[in-house]
Amino acid sequence: MNPLFKNFVFVILILLVVGGIFSLLYYPASAPTETSTTQLVGDINQGKVKKITVSGDTLDIVYNNDKTAVSMKETGTSVADLLNNLGVNKEALQKVQIDVKAAKEDLWSWLTPILIFGILPLVVFGFFFWTMIRQAKSGAVQVFDFTKAKARIFGAEGHGKEKITFKDVAGLKEAKEELVEIVDFLKFPKKYLAMGAKIPRGVLLVGSAGVGKTLLARAVAGEANVPFLSVSGSEFVEMFVGVGSARVRDLFQTAKKSSPSIIFIDELDAIGRHRGAGIGGGHDEREQTLNQILVEMDGFEKETGVIILAATNRPDILDPALLRPGRFDRKIILDPPDVHDREAILAIHSKDKPLAKDVNFKEVAERTPGFSGADLANVANEAALLTARQNKTQVDQKEFLDAIEKVLLGPERRSHLLSKKEKEIAAFHEAGHALVSTFSPNTEPVRKISIIARGMAAGYTLQVPSEEKKMKTKTGFISEIATLLGGCTAEKIKFGEMTTGASNDLARASELARRLVKEFGMSSLGLIAFGEKNEMVFLGKEISEQRNYSEKIAERIDEEVDMIIKEAQKQAEQILIKKKDLLDKVAKTLVEKEIIEREEFEKIIKGGNGKKA
């Protein structure tokens, strides 16, 4: 049956019962005989009446023969007036005993309307409210849990068995080193305050999903042995305006009460998005919540031993106000685990699993490039599940390797699996990028080549500047463009034609060439900047360009761009034809391992040196 209908019936039933009870109270079952006042006067005159008790408007009459009766008088008139008006015999009346009592019945007569019109609706309303809360609670949205931040609190004492320390976090060495200071402050705040040192208030943990941001934050609390209040940014964004900010207030109050403590805000980007960047969203809930966080952080006293850790994987979209000094002014980047970290993570998560002798975490780690800590925890768990399903008593290496497949093909991972042929093409494409870059002048070393699909790209080649370079030369730019073209050039050399996989490369190469000519003055057109950029302030992005040059110049710009692209293309072709053997080798390794890290890539390059090793 429809639950709403059921409730409705229930409410009606309650109404009927309550109504029945009241009517019983209001009309007592043994109603005494009623007499009219005229009759009463007659009886008094005849000397039949012994006593009249007046309570309110009711007259209780007792006759000489002990019979009783009731009569009513008008409100406002006194009994004496009433009887006089009806022509009572004064002498007869004097024999009657008249008592005036506080209105006993009056109590009911004003209580009843209150009960019926006041309390009863409240009861009904309350019942409705109660059932709605119950339903809301069982559902996903807790609509009526208005202002309490649903912080999960792991108290200092309450860490108990769950207590997580840095030992439980594999890898992330640099992040841990930075956080040691925070731990020390939480443990010995006086030491720092005595020095007049400014203590960091907010620390931003930046890293992709599953790298261990939450884990690390909990470890900080565990190391310092302080309460850990955890909320998720998305929990603040509720359906009612004002709820989010009230929750923030509540959260900070709780934290201050149990100071020193740690507040952990997961998914900070859910609230901390750049204000005003969304089209159509003005002063909305998110903004109010964000403002409240800023207000609370600014209102911290120096002595408040509360430190806020926040996690995000999109630091780029955060509101700049959040990153100002005194707020989240520290940024700690968590890198995805490398081979050694992966091995260590596997070991941590297999601690209490019975392992067979042949288990080799190194091999598992080597086979799981790109896996996050969470993925690896999942692998260890899947391996145990597979073992249990086969009724074995120890987890073998085979289960671990099977578990990799399982996690890899898991529903939410790797949207884009390559076929064998696609994989080969992608391998040559990426190898092309890497080799052109390596053998071009003024380039950054290749850090990583991967053919694991990421977002739209089938693969990627990662170059990281060895040192921060702010200024670039034309040679450097040409090399960069050649590198971008290296992908499709390699495809052409190997397979005779290119695929659509290179379209993004081409767009980026053309844009770069165009900027070379128009912005950097690096062409035969000379040292002139062409085109005025219009920045659209509300989007924070430039979206249009004003042309401030003639049609003729436009033509020449196109020619120059074309020349630059051709030059870069020639460079890429020459390199790849000369290093054909290396190209084959890198591509083959990529097909096998899917990811080549810097050391291995450099080994191939050195070992090969153009000849087959």
Task: Give the annotated binding-site residues.
Answer: 429, 433, 505
Give per-residue burial for 85-117: e unless 16+ CB within 10 Å, then b.
ebebeeebbeebeeeeeeeeeeebeeeeeebee
Q: Does 379 bind ligand ADP (CB under 6 A)?
A: no
- From 273-281, 369-377, 538-546, 588-596, give the range in contact with ligand ADP by CB under 6 A: 369-377
Give the 3-state secondary structure of residue 448.
strand
Contact partner at residue 172 from ligand ADP, Zn ion, none, CB < 5 to 8 Å by partner kind? ligand ADP
Distances (CA, A) of 407 to 376, 413, 509, 540: 9, 8, 36, 39
> What are the helix (H) ranges across 47-89?
79-85
Contact partner at residue 311 from ligand ADP, Zn ion, none, CB < 5 to 8 Å by partner kind? ligand ADP
Residue 29 has phi, psi (to 5 degrees) of -65, -45
- Quote the least distance from Cβ 353 to Zn ion, whole Å: 41
Separation of alpha carbons 141 and 522, rounded Å: 59
Q: Does 487 bind Zn ion (CB under 5 A)?
A: yes
58-63 and 49-55 as β-strands: parallel, antiparallel, unpaired? antiparallel
Q: Does 170 bind ligand ADP (CB under 6 A)?
A: yes
- From 129-137, 389-397, 441-449, 504-512, give the range in contact with Zn ion by CB under 5 A: 504-512
Contact partner at residue 604 from Zn ion, ligand ADP, none, CB < 5 to 8 Å by partner kind? none
CA 570 to chain centre: 49
Contact partner at residue 54 from Zn ion, ligand ADP, none, CB < 5 to 8 Å by partner kind? none
68-72 and 306-312 as β-strands: parallel, antiparallel, unpaired? unpaired
- Quote the least distance from Cβ 462 to Zn ion, whole Å: 12
Q: Does 432 bind Zn ion (CB under 5 A)?
A: no
Q: Does 212 bind ligand ADP (CB under 6 A)?
A: yes
**With respect to ligand ADP, which residue has the nearer C-beta, 315 or 501?**
315
C-alpha R_g of the chain: 42
Q: Does 211 bind ligand ADP (CB under 6 A)?
A: yes
Q: Does 210 bind ligand ADP (CB under 6 A)?
A: yes
Contact partner at residue 487 from ligand ADP, Zn ion, none, CB < 5 to 8 Å by partner kind? Zn ion
- Quote the least distance from Cβ 234 to Zn ion, whole Å: 34
Q: Does 505 bind Zn ion (CB under 5 A)?
A: yes
Please tell me the number of Cα atoms within 13 Å of 187 on its side-chain side: 12
Tell which one of 69, 79, 374, 408 touches ligand ADP (CB under 6 A).
Answer: 374
Q: Does 272 bind Zn ion (CB under 5 A)?
A: no
Q: Does 459 bind ligand ADP (CB under 6 A)?
A: no
**With respect to ligand ADP, which residue has the nearer C-beta, 210 or 227?**
210
**With respect to Zn ion, which residue has the nearer C-beta, 61 or 485?**
485
Separation of alpha carbons 349 and 365, rounded Å: 13
Residue 378 has phi, psi (to 5 degrees) of -65, -40
Separation of alpha carbons 408 and 594, rounded Å: 13
Contact partner at residue 315 from ligand ADP, Zn ion, none, CB < 5 to 8 Å by partner kind? none
* Residue 172 region by backbone torsions, left for phi larger than 0, else alpha for psi between -120 and 50, else beta: left
Copy the structure tokens of residue 209.
């999903």
Q: Does 310 bind ligand ADP (CB under 6 A)?
A: no
Tell which one of 18, 92, 123, 348 touches ligand ADP (CB under 6 A).
Answer: 348
Q: Does 336 bind ligand ADP (CB under 6 A)?
A: no
Q: Does 238 bind Zn ion (CB under 5 A)?
A: no
- Quote the least distance from Cβ 433 to Zn ion, whole Å: 6
Q: Which of 384, 376, 320, 321 is nearest to 352 (CA)?
A: 384
Give per-residue burial for 317-354: e unless 16+ CB within 10 Å, then b.
ebbeebbeeebbebebebebbeeebbbbbbbbbbeeee
| Active-site amino acid positions | 430
- Quote the least distance from Cβ 263 to ligand ADP, whole Å: 15
> What are the helix (H) ranges across 49-118?
79-85, 90-94, 104-113
- From 77-85, 92-100, 167-175, 224-232, give the range in contact with ligand ADP by CB under 6 A: 167-175
Residue numbers of the site for Zn ion (CB under 5 A)?
Answer: 487, 505
Residue numbers of the site for ligand ADP (CB under 6 A)?
Answer: 169-172, 207, 209-215, 311, 345, 348, 373-374, 377
